Amino acid sequence: MQSKMTDVAVDKTDPAGSLSSTEKEPDDLIEEKNQDNPPAAAAEEGEGAAGGVYRYIKDDLFTSEIFKVEIQNLPKYIGFNDLKKFLNKHGVNPHKIKLFSKQMFAFVTFKNQEERDKAMKAVHGMQWKSKVLSVRLAKPKADPILKKRKLEEEPLNIQIANAVTPLWNVPYEEQLKRKEKEVEGVLQKLTREIGNNNKAMLPWLFVQKEKFNKMCCPLEAIRPSPVLTEYRNKCEFVIGVGADGEDKTVGFRLGKYKGGSCAVVSPSETTHVSSEAKRVVQGFQQFIRANPYAVYSPETYEGHWRQLTVRTSRIKQTMAIVFFNPQKLQEEEIEELKRNLHQYFTEGEGKESGITSLYFVRMGQRTSAGTEDLPCEHVTGEEWIHEELLGLKFRISPHSFFQTNTPAAEVLYSAVGEWAQLDQDSTVLDVCCGTGTIGISLAKRVKKVIGIELCQEAVEDAKANAEANGLTNVEFHCGKAEDVFPTVLNAVVSPNVTAIVDPPRAGLHSKVILAIRRAEHLKRLVYVACNAKAAMNNFIDLCRAPSNRVRGSPFRPVRAMAVDLFPQTMHCETILLFERSLSQENLIPPRLSVQQTFTFVSYLKARIFFPP
C-alpha cells in the first residue's frame, strides 16, 4: 500500500496509522504537532511497552513503531522532501517520516531493527548545513483506540475535570509557569514577525532579543488569580443526554460535537463553577425533567431545551437565562411554559436556587455564531444583577460582557491603569468597553473617557454605571468598533490620548488598527488580549512599516505581562503596552561592543540569505 504523500509505505496493521493521525500533504506534516510523541524519547513513563496503549507492539503483526528513532538538531528551513532525500543519499531507507520543522526534530521509523540500527550509526554525529545531527530511540505512539478507551473508563468526575479544567491536578505554581512560557513563545514569534515586516526595527530588535531572551520587550512576572476555585461568575451549560444515560442532563459536554461526543456531565464536582451556579443547575434540571418538552438534538434538529446560562455576583445576586427552541409550538404554549418557570423559581421547589433575575430566550436554528443578538424575555425578578469591582458599582444585563473572574479582573484592570500612565489631561479611548469597567475605573484620574461597544445592552449598562458612580466625564458610543472608532478618534483634540482595547477572542478589525496607526496624536496603546495568538495579526499591523495601506508611524511593544483569570486551564489574559515610534532615530540601539557588532552582522546576513 502506497501513501498519498510519499513513496514511503503505510502499515495496514499499525493501529496508529501513519506517524500522523491521518495522511496529509508534506506541508501539513511539517506543521502538525503530535502530543503523543514529545521529544522525551524513552518509554519509562506511563504504561510500559508491555501492555495498555502500547499492547499492539507485542502482537505478531508488523508495526514500524517498534523501530522508531528521533533525529534532533535538524537545520532550519528544511522540508519533508529535503529530509527524505538527505536520508536516501546516505543509504538510509525510512519507512515513515514525521517532521517538526519549528522544533527542528523528526520521528523516523524503519521496517526492521537492522535498518534502524544502520540509520542510527550512519546519521548520528553527521553534519548537515552546519548542524551536527543526533539520533536516539523514540517511544512508540500510543494506540489511539485503546488510549481513548482508557480515558472513557475513568470516573465521570475525572473525565469532566479533564475536559473543562485540564490543569486541575497540576500545582498552581506549575500552571503559572506554563502560561508564562506560552506568552513568552508568543512574544518571541512577534519579534520575528516585526523583523519580517519592519526592517527599520531590526537594529532595535537585535538589542531587545539580546536583553530579553529573544523577545521584543520585557515579560514581567505573571500575576496570579486571587481565587483558584469557584471563580467563574458566568457559565454556559448545555442540555442533553447525560454520560450516565440520564435524559435532560444540564452541565458540560465531555467533548465537542464534531469529535463525536454529545454526552453531558453535571458540573456538581467541577472546581471552577460557583456553588450558587451549581444550585441553579440542579433546580433547573429538576424542572425540565418534570416537563414534557424534549431536549434539542443537534443531530436531528428536533426538541426544545438548548442551553442554560448562569451569571452570579459577589453580592449574592444570580441571573439565569434559559434558551429554548420553540419549534412549532403555539404562542400560548410558550407563554404557559414561561408562567410555569416563574411559578417554579418564585414559589415552587426552584425557589431554593436563589435566582434573583430570570430570562427566557427563543433560540431557533442559528443564523449567526453567537447568541448576543437574540432578544431576552424577562420572566421574573430584577432586570439586572449588580457587581462591585475596585470599589465601584456595576449593573450587568443578560448579554453584557463582564470579565468572568471578578477578583482577578481587579488585578488586571489595576495593571492596565498603571501601564496607561495617565494624568488629569489624559483622554482615554476604551474600545470594546463592555459595561464600561475599565474606563469607569480610570475616569477619576483623567480628563475624559470615551467608550465604544457593539452590544446595545452593554452600552446602556455602561451609561447607567457611570451615573451610579457619579461620573460626568464619561461617554459611550454603540456600534462596531471599525465603524465608530475612526470618527471618535478624529474628533479627539487632546494632546494626551491613550487607547485601551479589550477585544473579543479574534482581536480588533483591521480598520480599527489602521485608524490607530493614522492617528499620530495617539502615542500609547494598552492591548488586553484574551488570546494573544489570535491577536497576533493586530500586533504585527501595529508595528509594521508604513505603506500605502498602513499609514502613520509604527508602534513598538515595550512591556508585556500575563494575568491569570482562568485557573486550572491553559488560558490567561495578556497585557501588551505599545508606544509610538516617532522617528527612525528612536530605533537605533546604543553603541555596540565588537562582539555584539559581529553577532548583529551575522544576524542580518542570516535574515537576508535565509529569510523565514
Residue 525's closest CA among 419, 606, 424, 447? 419
* CB-neighbour burial class of residue 91 (10 A; exposed 0-12, middle 13-18, buried 19+): exposed
Phi/psi at 577 (nearest 5 deg)?
A: -100, 120
Residue 34's closest CA among 117, 134, 132, 102? 102
Q: Dihedral, CA atoms, 440, 446, 450, 456, nearest 10 degrees?
A: 10
Query: In angstroms, rounded to a whole number, what is the distance separating the alpha carbons of residues 9 and 3?
Result: 6
SS (H, E, C) 142-177: CCHHHHHHHHHCCCHHHHHHHHHCCCCCCCHHHHHH
Please count the CA atoms within 13 angstroms of the CA of 360 that sit on its side-chain side.
20
Residues paired with 107 in a beta bridge: 70, 98
Q: Report the length, in residues, of the chain.
A: 612
Strands, sheet with 219-223, edge to edge from the N-terminal-most edge strand: 219-223, 555-563, 573-580, 522-529, 497-501, 427-431, 448-453, 474-478
Q: Which of 216, 433, 455, 530 is catalytic?
A: 530
- Cβ(400)–Cβ(434) below 8 Å: yes
Across the chain, how many H-helices and E-strands are there?
A: 16, 23
Task: List Cβ neighbours of 418 (8 Å cut-off, separation of 6 or more).
Answer: none
Longest dimension (CA), the chain: 84
Phi/psi at 284 (nearest 5 deg)?
A: -65, -40
Query: In angstroms, rounded to a whole number, what is the distance separating the alpha carbons of residues 339 and 49?
Result: 61
- Cβ(225)–Cβ(405) below 8 Å: yes
Residue 422's closest CA among 563, 574, 526, 576? 526
- Cβ(525)–Cβ(508) below 8 Å: no
- Cβ(301)–Cβ(265) below 8 Å: no
For 277, the grid coordinates are 451556579
> Does residue 502 have a known ligand-binding role?
yes
- Cβ(326)–Cβ(361) below 8 Å: no
Query: In angstroms, rounded to a whole number, what is the distance separating the alpha carbons of residues 418 and 416?
Result: 5
> Does residue 403 have a known ligand-binding role?
yes
> Does residue 60 have a known ligand-binding role?
no
Rg (CA), the chain: 28
- Cβ(499)–Cβ(525) below 8 Å: yes
Phi/psi at 17 (nearest 5 deg)?
A: 70, -130
For 586, the grid coordinates are 528612536
Q: In the annotation, is 455 catalytic?
A: no
- Cβ(225)–Cβ(567) below 8 Å: yes
Query: In angstroms, rounded to a whole number, what is the distance separating the alpha carbons of residues 168 and 569?
Result: 7
Please count the CA atoms within 13 angstroms of the CA of 257 that sit on its side-chain side.
8
Q: Are strands 448-453 and 474-478 parallel, antiparallel or unpaired?
A: parallel
Residues identified as active-site: 530
Binding residues for S-adenosyl-L-methionine: 403, 453, 502
Binding site feature residues = 403, 453, 502
